[in-house]
Amino acid sequence: MTKEQLSSAEIKKACDILRRDDGVGSKNYITEISWILFLKLFEEIENIFDDISASKMQDYHFVIEEKYHWSSWAHDKEYRKNPEKMLDFVRGKLFPYLKLLSGDYGTKIAQIFNTLVQPKILSGYNLIDVVDIVDKINKKDFVDSHLLSHAYEEILAKMGNEGGWAGEYYTPRSVIKFLIHTLDPQVGQKIKDPFTGSGGFLVESFEYLKQKSNWDTLSTKEQKKLADNSLFGQEKKQEGYILGMMNLITHGVLKPNINLANTFGQDLNNITGEYDVILTNPPFGGKEASQVYKHYEYPTSATEGLALQYIMKTLKNGGKAGVVLPDGQILFATGLFADIRQKLFEKNKLKYIISLPAGVFAQMGTGIKTVCMIFEKGGNTKNVVYYNLNGKYTKKKLLPLEDMESILEDMKQVDIFDKNLDEKDIDAFNIAGEDTNQNFDRWVVPLEYFENNNYDISPKNPFEKKDIVLSVDENLSLINKGNTGFTQEFENLKKLLKDNDLV
């Protein structure tokens, strides 16, 4: 089958199978499918690596021994006759083996399966039914590991949408790619997503670096260095950690640098900026316990406020951040939120705020409006450029990257961040952005406005020329004034004619 053929219906069928299993709760059938899918795809990817090595007259050393390969147990005829024996093998031999893997890459797989502890499936019949669905993916149906790994991404998204948790882990791919293209990470830089989820930002960053580095021309040693030393992540929730690790491994990052930990629990006093690029969609709308955030300079319990402080702290000087934030109090509220924004202006160059339509996240089951914030650490902010993306997006009409490419192209022409702008400059920039052929609105706001408005960075144009709309009373008053003026002028004219004996 091809990657398109593992349909949402089949994924839903697999989920339904696990729902009926007495050992699988509603919150973990996604994880159960994911480890099964991971083992299937990992064997396929190892086979591809083996073929590549053979073509170069080199030996490939499999991370997983042959007797524990997917095909060795999933296709075993004895297990097919007695599915409970398959379950016994998975629980009693496969998982213990995977937990003890060592070596450069085996350690990471061991971390995943030690986090899982044990499969939750209690029925061998249910296990074999799910295995049969996943087994439809075959290496021969893919021309390379790139397509195979993206099959995992697509299936992960489908599972997430079915399970109702996708909004927590899965950012629309077009938004991720847009931010990566805007920040343009370079080979050799350290890229981090401190709220990794299923790893979408890191996966797409890796694909971007592979293109920049001419991946196929690199030696095996150079490829390993790029994959092992470029990407870093952290995830609080076990499900997200497992999915993120698996996702990166199936994309060829066999040694993911992802920690299972609450990012907000780190003491910011002990953190120095070490990352060149931070790309993330942090949790928002949540709350953290006071003992978690007490070491923050601005100790708000709101996760979006904590996230922005964390990002500013962990970027190195000259580093760049692309962050998805809710179009809410983090942008305009007073108090600690205003203090956080003021620090953002005084210690960083806030360059862009891109307002996205509410429907962009509809596929994740939410209509929340969001913005993308882009800034560089160091210096201070003088002017902020805003883009408002126009368009209507729904669960069925997803936002394609093509709809954001016009903004990317426009950004290449913008050179206004460090200039002292007067009213004419602002008008000229804003008017130049009023191209009716574009799918976005554009305007610039200077520092003075923010200083006078509690550093409110909401995506609204304070210089927009609006049509004057009068109330009924105001219109009647003007008409009355107009009639009064006309009557007076008419009387003056009659007097002038009479005085000159013309009437």
Tell me the per-residue pLDDT of 213-232, one tens digit each, with 9 for 90 and over.
999 898 888 999 999 999 99
Structure confidence at residue 4 as a pLDDT band (50, 70, 90):
very low
Closest CA to 183 of 326, 52, 374: 374
Percent of the chain with pLDDT over 70: 82
DSSP string covering 388-441, please? Answer: EE-----SSS---THHHHHHHHHHTT---TTS---HHHHHHHHHHT--TTSSEE
Structure confidence at residue 111 as a pLDDT band (50, 70, 90):
very high
Quote the Cα angle for 197-200-203, to 5°: 125
Closest CA to 260 of 249, 245, 271, 248: 245
Structure confidence at residue 3 as a pLDDT band (50, 70, 90):
very low
User: So what's the pLDDT on residue 145?
Assistant: 47
User: So what's the pLDDT on residue 51?
Assistant: 85
User: So what's the pLDDT on residue 84?
Assistant: 95
Choose between 492 and 463: higher pLDDT: 463
200 Cβ neighbours under 8 A, 6+ residues apart: 153, 170, 171, 173, 176, 247
Q: What count of other Cβ atoms lies within 10 Å of the Cβ of residue 499?
A: 9
Pick the range with the lowest mean pLDDT from 38-42, 62-66, 273-277.
38-42
Q: Answer whether 401's CB lies under 8 Å from 177's CB.
A: yes
382-394 mean pLDDT: 94
Quote the Cα angle for 400-207-390, to 5°: 20
Residue 184, by phi and psi: left (phi above 0), alpha (psi -120 to 50) or beta?
left
Q: Answer whether 323's CB lies under 8 Å from 175's CB.
A: no
User: So what's the pLDDT on residue 181?
Assistant: 97
Q: From residue 411, give the alpha-carbon distance in Å to each of 354, 405, 407, 408, 443.
A: 11, 10, 6, 5, 12
pLDDT at 122 over 80: yes
Q: Answer whether 348's CB lies under 8 Å from 377's CB.
A: yes
Quote the Cα angle for 321-236-34, to 5°: 105
User: Rounded to two decimals, what is the model's pTM?
Assistant: 0.84
Structure confidence at residue 48 as a pLDDT band (50, 70, 90):
confident
Pick the range with the lowest mean pLDDT from 319-328, 338-347, 415-424, 427-436.
427-436
Structure confidence at residue 127 as a pLDDT band (50, 70, 90):
very high
| Distance between CA atoms of residues 77 and 394, nearest Å | 46
Structure confidence at residue 502 as a pLDDT band (50, 70, 90):
low
Place of tokens 């004219």: 493
Residue pLDDT, tens place only, 361-385: 876 666 789 999 999 999 999 999 9
Count how many Cα atoms sit within 13 Å of the Cα of residue 424 in the half-sphere of its side chain.
Answer: 0
Pick the range with the lowest mean pLDDT from 33-37, 407-411, 475-479.
475-479
Structure tokens that stand for 212 in this block: 């920049």
Q: Answer whether 233's CB lies under 8 Å from 199's CB.
A: yes
Count how many Cα atoms sit within 13 Å of the Cα of residue 271 in the half-sphere of its side chain.
Answer: 20
User: So what's the pLDDT on residue 164?
Assistant: 47
pLDDT at 447 over 90: yes
Residue pLDDT, tens place only, 137-195: 765 555 444 555 555 666 666 655 554 444 344 688 899 999 999 999 999 999 999 99
